[in-house]
Amino acid sequence: MVNDTALKLDVGRKFSEAAAVGGAVIDLAAAKAEEKAKFVCRGVRVHYGAKEALHGVDMDVPDAGVTALIGPSGCGKSTFLRVFNRMNDTIPGARVSGSVLMDGADIYAKGVDPVLLRARVGMVFQKPNPFPKSIYENVAYGPRIHGLAASRGELDAIVEGSLKKAALWEEVKDRLKEPGTGLSGGQQQRLVIARAIAVRPEVILMDEPASALDPIATARLEELIDELRKNYCIIIVTHSMAQAARVSQKTAFFHLGDLVEFGDTRAIFTNPKDQRTQDYITGRTG
Amino acid sequence: MTDARPLADRAALARIARRRRGEAAFRTASMAAVVAAVAMLGWLLVTLVGSGATAFYQHVITLDVALDPSKLDPTGARDPAELQKASFRPILQSAIYGRFPEATGRDERRELFALISVAGATDRLRRMVRDDPALVGTTVRITAPVSDVVDQLLKGRIDRKVDATLRPVSDRQIAWIDALRASGEIKARFNATFFTATDSRDPELAGIASAVVGSAMALAVALMLAAPIGIAAALYLEEFAPKNRITDIIEININNLAAVPSIVFGLLGLAVFLSFFGLPRSAPLVGGFVLALMTLPTIIIAARSALAAVPPSIAAAALSVGASPVQAVFHHKLPLAAPGILTGVIIGMARALGETAPLLMIGMVAFVTEIPSSLTEPASALPVQIFLWSDSPERAWAERASAAILVLLIVLGAMNAAAIFLRQRLEKRW
Amino acid sequence: MTTLGIFLSLIFESLRFFAQVPPLDFLTGLQWSPQTAMREDQAGQSGAFGAVPVFLGTLMITGVAMLVALPIGLMIAFYLAEYAPARMRAAVKPAVELLAGVPTVVYGYFALLTVGPAIRGFAEAMGFAVPTQSAVAAGAVMGIMIIPFISSLSDDVINAVPQSLRDGAYALGATKSETLLRVVFPAALPGIVGAFLLGVSRAIGETMIVVMAAGRAANLSANPFEAMTTVTVQIVAVLTGDQEFDSPKTLSAFTLGITLFVVTLILNVIALIVVRSYRDRYE
Ligand SMILES: Nc1ncnc2c1ncn2[C@@H]1O[C@H](COP(=O)(O)OP(=O)(O)OP(=O)(O)O)[C@@H](O)[C@H]1O
Ligand SMILES: [Mg+2]
């Protein structure tokens, strides 16, 4: 209960702050009317030991489409992304407070198993991290541990389907037994996406997925993201403003652990309301 | 928020419960492995303390012995040399028979006499007479160890309830022992013999002195050889050697040598030092050579990593003020690396101290009844002594072997503690 | 330098041995009894220097030791690397490593006086007759000694597995043990194999435990509860006490010595290469 009041107070502070810098930045009511929210975050704070990395974030992530998180290095984008699949739990000393509802259910509630949550919220990392196993085994790993396939045939079908959705099938279908680490960087990243898709998640989190890729591989990845957004809710962290503009429908700008501005990507890039956002996208900070 | 839906369906929840149980089982198993390993260490130590601690005290008997001149010195000349040759056995027998005059039968008397450590008591008497020949003709009071069987009985290692034919002490003997114990003629005291005596055929008279001295000598030789050579080699390899194929091969070699079975070093010592150079067998000198060979790789590896851990900026600073590379190394790097090198040397020496197999190869298994006074005299070593004692079936030997192990472990513990202490100080520096 | 010295002197002695005993007999003979072959008229008698029972005994005891050391050592490594809180780790790791600091003669004594009788007592309770000196007693105690070699090296190796692989598995919804067994362990496998090989080489070269607890009879048997002999035991048996340097008996010990040296050297080199290439992969 104490938490609750803290949360409300916090929300209040957030709004007054927003008002102080010129008008309501986040029009929650409008957002809700427009589309259903996949995640509803209120007063999310993350501590690493004694240090607070996120100072209370309120944000509604829409169910459909791509949401981009941008902001200068160290502002807490990755930290916020890890909130959605509780990956912060694996970091010693990390604590998350506030509330995060996914389809209306609190994912930090007691009794929620992060393992099950992560099956519904997949993640792709900055550096491709295929397991040192065959391509097939990489994709089959998730379905295996979650018991998604009853037979070998079903598993084969899941692997094939996932690789197809990740636009990798044509390139690897003849060498599924070869190690996943032998692929090129761009292929590895798509393999990792296939691996995540194979668990049939509803959400895919991506932390700077293109930062280790060359421009051609990046372009392919962006095409893939554009394709995937029809079926998945995607949240992507990126350092490239152009990329955010190209792939996302919503953009959130973070600065020093605060969510400064959140709205339609086009609006953010053409008509930022906050001075800090403006400075960042015009290249004066960051 | 009315359409809140659960995070997972029933089947998934059942599955996750099973997976969680697997997780818990695995975690428990991993902890059990740790517990098992630590328990084994505990079992080892408890066994050793349980069987060895009692060796640090010993039961002694106080006896009045009449130094009968007619038996010791029939000629009456009181010649010290002749007195030393005399047999003290008969007067010792009379003394104990006098204490229990009711024992008259041959077997009875034999059993009675068997209560005392004969060698221990006669030795004491002989020494007394040697120091003061005037004692002959008087009655002296001596304190001598009881025999090992009596000692074991009093320490509770021999079960009194067992059928008399199955235990090494008879009912009669037990009655005598209890009487002597009750009157205070037999009492327990600190077993100084264990530390001052050499090996012996009688457990109650055996001690670790010769073995300790042998070990110390061998270790000193090993230290004197291995430390300077090892440090010099490490300095050369780390600081001055060109980095090429040859030094690469040498490096692999050194790493391999550290893993060569110790017995192979013993064989090498046998073939080279004994067979080829004709050095004496069983000598601490050769033992030291072999142990030095064995610890050399350890020291080189430790010294190299200690040198490598010194920030290059320090040597660079020395060079920048005009020191030669050699000066930079000796004035600045070596002192900073010293604690690390010392740690390596101590650990190497600790390992050498516990080593047995190579010493067996070069014959340091002799039955040594004198404390060696030079590096070429036959000597034993502490671990070898343990090996020899544990080979003997009597309980008293096992007790002493355990006690010797305790001494060895305490010394090793101290050496390792010193090494850890040094390492911690080293770590604080940067 | 020294390796070469060892090699040359041992080669030299073994050549002299093989001048007297045909190599084929040595490698394939089924009977080992150097003592009887000492007598002039029996020297070189075929079969007396057949090293097969000795090799088999070594293999058996090493097998028992690894059976004890590998699972326990690995589980300890898993615990240390993935489960133990920092404080626990700081306490447990040195405690386990203490096991490696105990002199082998102490383990031998322990095997002879405590573990051997315990195994015999247990076997008798189950209705078997088992000697105090047996391959199992020696092997089990040797296994205890080798645990820290396996656990420390494996722990290092597991820690070297990049965190990104673990994150990848966690993000897919794997539990800790699933991540460990199916992602981290396969990734660390080459390094763990290296640790295993080093452990084997230790076990083969270990002398005191087997001398004290395994017995000296060269039994050709597949029953680990029997007394058995090893290469190292035979070297000690043959070379302790007075001996002439030229008798085939003495030379046989050197030949066993070089066999031991070569085998452990090969194991070490392979282990080193495996571990090194593994490290390079993740750097
Ligand atoms: N594991 C951790 N332990 C302690 N502090 C951390 C940890 N991870 C992140 N931080 C801190 O939290 C803050 C936010 O970090 P985060 O990684 O979320 O930033 P980011 O926006 O993703 O930066 P980048 O763009 O460089 O990836 C930083 O100040 C960082 O130092
Ligand atoms: Mg980041």
Q: What are phi and psi of A121, to 5 degrees?
A: -125, 100
On the question of pLDDT at A10 being above 50, the answer is: no
For ligand 1, atom 2: residue with the closest CA:
A48
Q: Name all domains of chain B by residue range, CATH numbers in brackets.
A: 58-189 (no CATH), 209-426 (1.10.3720.10)
Cα torsion B155, B156, B159, B164 to 10°: value is: 40
On the question of pLDDT at C281 being above 80, the answer is: no
- Provide the token pair at C145: 């000694």
- Residues B302 and B309: their CA atoms lie apart, in Å, by 11
- Residues C7 and B212: their CA atoms lie apart, in Å, by 33
Out of B3, B15, B20, closest to residue A104 by CB: B3
DSSP sequence for A213-276: S-HHHHHHHHHHHHHHTTTSEEEEE-S-HHHHHHH-SEEEEEETTEEEEEEEHHHHHHS-SSHH
Q: Which residues in chain C are contacts of A195 at CB distance < 8 A?
A: 168, 172
- Provide the token pair at B368: 């040594």
Q: Position A82: which residue type?
A: R
Q: C76, B19: Cβ pair inside 8 Å?
A: no
Domain that holds residue C208: 51-242
Please answer whether residues B96 and B63 qualify as being in contact, where contact means their C-beta atoms are separated by less than 8 angstroms: yes
CB-side neighbour CA atoms (13 Å) of A175: 11
3-state class (DSSP) for residue A179: strand
Average pLDDT over chain B reads: 82
Whole-Å CA distances, B4 to A33, A102, A192, B7, B334: 18, 8, 30, 9, 69
| pLDDT, tens only, C243-258 | 555 566 677 777 788 7
Average pLDDT of the segment spanning B370-374: 74
A81 lines ligand 1 (CB under 6 A): no
Residue C266 lies in a domain: no
Q: What is the pLDDT of residue A24?
A: 36
Question: For residue B55, how far is the Cα from the chain centroid?
Answer: 14
Q: Name the one residue in this structure whose structure tokens are 């997976």.
A: B19
Q: How many domains does chain C have?
A: 1
Q: What is the pLDDT of residue B1?
A: 32
Question: For residue C175, how far is the Cα from the chain centroid?
Answer: 35
- Residues B59 and C97: their CA atoms lie apart, in Å, by 38
For ligand 1, atom 28: residue with the closest CA:
A74
Distance between terminal CA atoms of chain A? 39
Q: C168, A195: Cβ pair inside 8 Å?
A: yes
A73 lines ligand 1 (CB under 6 A): yes
DSSP sequence for B160-223: TTS-GGGSSS-HHHHHHHHHHHHTTSEEEEE-THHHH----SSGGG--SHHHHHHHHHHHHHHH
C70 exposed, middle or buried (CB, 10 Å; 0-12, 13-18, 19+)?
buried
Report the percentage of chain B scoring pLDDT > 90: 9
| pLDDT, tens only, B182-201 | 888 888 888 888 888 777 77
Residue to substitute from B1, B3, B5, B7, interface A, most A β-carbons within 10 A: B7
Q: C212, B22: Cβ pair inside 8 Å?
A: no
Cα torsion C273, C275, C277, C281 to 10°: value is: 180
Q: Name the one residue in this structure whose structure tokens are 């010290």.
A: B80
- Residues A252 and A103: their CA atoms lie apart, in Å, by 20
* Length of chain B in terms of residues written: 430
3-state class (DSSP) for residue C102: coil
Helix-strand-coil percent breakdown of chain A, rounded to 5? Answer: 45, 25, 30
- Provide the token pair at A50: 């004694």
- Residues B22 and B28: their CA atoms lie apart, in Å, by 10
| pLDDT, tens only, A83-122 | 999 999 888 889 999 999 998 889 998 888 888 889 889 9
Average pLDDT over chain A reads: 83
Whole-Å CA distances, B150 to B91, B114, B167, B204: 21, 9, 11, 10
Give the model's confidence band at C34: pLDDT under 50 very low, under 70 low, under 90 confident, else very high.
low
- Pairing mode of beta strands A51-62, A203-207: unpaired
Q: What is the pLDDT of residue C19?
A: 54
Out of A103, A119, A145, closest to residue B5 by CB: A103
Q: C166, A127: Cβ pair inside 8 Å?
A: no
Q: What is the pLDDT of residue C15?
A: 59
How many beta-carbon pairs under 8 angstroms link A with C? 67
List subunits contacting chain A, requiring 3 or more Cβ pairs under 8 Å. B, C
Q: Which residue among A54, A78, A81 is best mutated to probe the pocket of ligand 1, counting the most ligand atoms within 8 A of its Cβ?
A: A78
Q: What is the pLDDT of residue C273?
A: 83
Out of B328-337, B420-429, C51-60, least confident range: B420-429
Q: A103, B3: Cβ pair inside 8 Å?
A: yes
Residue C3 lies in a domain: no
Q: What is the pLDDT of residue A27?
A: 45
Q: Position A111: which residue type?
A: G
Q: What are phi and psi of C230, to 5 degrees?
A: -130, 175
| A85 or C40, higher pLDDT | A85
A91 lines ligand 1 (CB under 6 A): yes
Element (H, E) at B62: strand B57-66
CB-side neighbour CA atoms (13 Å) of A165: 22
Give the model's confidence band at C219: pLDDT under 50 very low, under 70 low, under 90 confident, else very high.
low
- Residues C51 and C260: their CA atoms lie apart, in Å, by 12
Please answer whether residues A121 and A113 qualify as being in contact, where contact means their C-beta atoms are separated by less than 8 angstroms: no
- Residues C190 and C48: their CA atoms lie apart, in Å, by 41
| C211 or C74, higher pLDDT | C74
Question: For residue B322, how far is the Cα from the chain centroid?
Answer: 51
| pLDDT, tens only, B268-309 | 888 777 767 777 777 888 888 889 888 888 888 888 888 888
- Residues B347 and B336: their CA atoms lie apart, in Å, by 19
Q: What is the pLDDT of residue A174?
A: 92
CA nearest A192: which of A221, A151, A219?
A: A221
Please answer whether residues B293 and B233 qualify as being in contact, where contact means their C-beta atoms are separated by less than 8 angstroms: no
Average pLDDT over chain C reads: 77
Most confident of the ranges B63-77, B365-379, C71-85, C229-243: C71-85
CA nearest A252: which of A41, A16, A2?
A: A41
CATH number of the domain where residue C141 is located: 1.10.3720.10
Number of H helices, E strands in chain B: 19, 3
Give the model's confidence band at C168: pLDDT under 50 very low, under 70 low, under 90 confident, else very high.
very high
Ion ligand 2: residues, CB within 5 A, are: A 78
On the question of pLDDT at C32 being above 60, the answer is: no
3-state class (DSSP) for residue B426: helix
Residues 6+ apart with CB under 8 A from B420: none
| pLDDT, tens only, B19-77 | 889 999 999 999 999 999 999 999 999 988 988 888 888 888 888 888 888 887 777 77
CB-side neighbour CA atoms (13 Å) of A192: 32
Out of A53-67, A141-155, B6-20, B141-155, least confident range: B6-20
Q: What is the pLDDT of residue C241?
A: 59
A238 lines ligand 1 (CB under 6 A): no
Please answer whether residues C192 and C157 qualify as being in contact, where contact means their C-beta atoms are separated by less than 8 angstroms: yes
Q: How many CB atoms lie within 10 A of CB A143?
A: 21
DSSP A90: G
**What Rg value do the Cα atoms of chain A yield, rounded?**
19
Task: Give the number of whichever ligand sits closest to the CA of residue A79.
Answer: 1
A48 lines ligand 1 (CB under 6 A): yes
Q: What is the pLDDT of residue A21?
A: 36
Out of B40, B263, B384, closest to residue C235 by CB: B263
Residue C80 lies in a domain: yes
* Length of chain C in terms of residues written: 283
pTM summary value? 0.82
CA nearest B107: which of B200, B158, B171?
A: B171
- Residues A218 and A117: their CA atoms lie apart, in Å, by 29
